[in-house]
Amino acid sequence: MGFSVGIVGLPNVGKSTLFKTLTKKEIDISNYPFCTIDPNVGIVKVPDERLQILSEFSKSKKIIPTAIEFVDIAGLVKDAHKGEGLGNKFLSNIREVDMIVHIIRGFEDSNITHVSGKTDPKNDMEIINLELILADLETINKGLEKIKRDVRAGKKEAIELQSVLEKYRLALENEKFANIVELNRNERKIIKGLQLLTNKPVFFIVNVNENQKIDKEKILPEIENKIFIPIKFELDLSELSPEEVQEFKAETKLDENISSLDDLITKCYNLLGLITFLTTGEDETRAWTVKKNSTAPEAGRAIHGDFEEKFIRASVINWQKLLDSGSWQNAVEKGLLRTEGKEYIVQDGDVIEYKI
Pairing of strands 284-291, 202-207: unpaired
Mean pLDDT of the chain: 86
For the ranges 55-59, 72-76, 126-130, 239-243, which has the lowest average pLDDT?
A: 72-76
Radius of gyration of the chain (CA): 23
Q: How many other β-carbons are positioned within 10 Å of the β-carbon of residue 190?
A: 17
Residue type, 55: S
Predicted pLDDT at 90: 62
- The pLDDT, as a whole number, for residue 32 is 41
pLDDT value at residue 135: 87
Question: Are residues 284 and 314 in contact, defined by beta-carbon separation less than 8 angstroms?
Answer: no
Q: Alpha-carbon distance 223 to 205, whole Å? A: 11
335 has pLDDT over 80: yes
CA distance 316 to 79: 53
Q: Per-residue pLDDT for 29 more than 50?
A: no
At 116 the pLDDT is 63
Residue 63 burial by CB count (10 A; 0-12/13-18/19+): exposed, middle or buried?
middle
Average pLDDT of the residues in 237-243: 84
- Banded pLDDT at 31 (limits 50, 70, 90): very low
Distance CA 231, CA 79 (A): 27
Per-residue model confidence as pLDDT tens digits over 79-102: 545 554 444 556 777 888 899 999
pLDDT at res. 111: 66
Q: Tens digit of pLDDT for each residue in 91-130? A: 777 888 899 999 999 887 766 666 666 778 888 899 889 8
- What pTM, to 2 d.p., does this model score? 0.81
Domains and CATH numbers, the chain: 4-269 (3.40.50.300), 293-355 (3.10.20.30)
Under a CB-based contact definition with an 8 Å cutoff, are residues 110 and 87 in contact?
Answer: no
Give mean pLDDT, residues 195-202: 90
Distances, alpha carbon 225 to alpha carbons 101, 188, 201, 221, in Å = 10, 24, 10, 10
Sign of torsion over alpha carbons 173, 177, 178, 180: negative
Beta strands 313-318 and 338-340 are antiparallel
Q: What is the pLDDT of residues 266-321, one digit of tens each?
A: 889 889 999 999 999 999 999 999 999 999 999 999 998 888 889 999 999 999 99
The 3-state DSSP class for residue 288 equals strand
pLDDT above 90 coverage of the chain, percent: 47
- The helix or strand, by DSSP H or E, that contains position 70, with its residue range, turns out to be strand 67-72
* Calpha distance 255→215 (Å, rounded): 10
pLDDT value of residue 237: 86
> What is the Cα–Cα distance from 132 to 195, expressed in whole angstroms?
12
Q: Which residues contact 237 (CB under 8 A, 6 or more apart)?
A: 245, 248, 249
DSSP characters over 192-242: TT---GGGS-EEEEEE--TTPPP-TTTSSTT-SSEEEE-HHHHHHHHTS-H
Instruction: Evaluate if residue 249 carries a pLDDT over 80.
Output: no
Own/partner long-range contacts of 182-190 (Cβ < 8 Å, ≥24 apart)? 186/160, 187/160, 187/163, 190/157, 190/160, 190/161, 190/164
Q: 5 by DSSP, 3-state: which?
A: strand
Residue 294: predicted pLDDT: 96
Least confident of 69-78, 132-141, 266-275: 69-78
Residues 14, 232: contact at Cβ < 8 Å?
yes
Residue 98, CA distances (Å) to 109, 196, 202, 278, 302 in order: 32, 11, 10, 23, 17
Residue pair 316/328 in contact (Cβ under 8 Å)? The answer is no
Residue 8 reports pLDDT greater than 60? yes
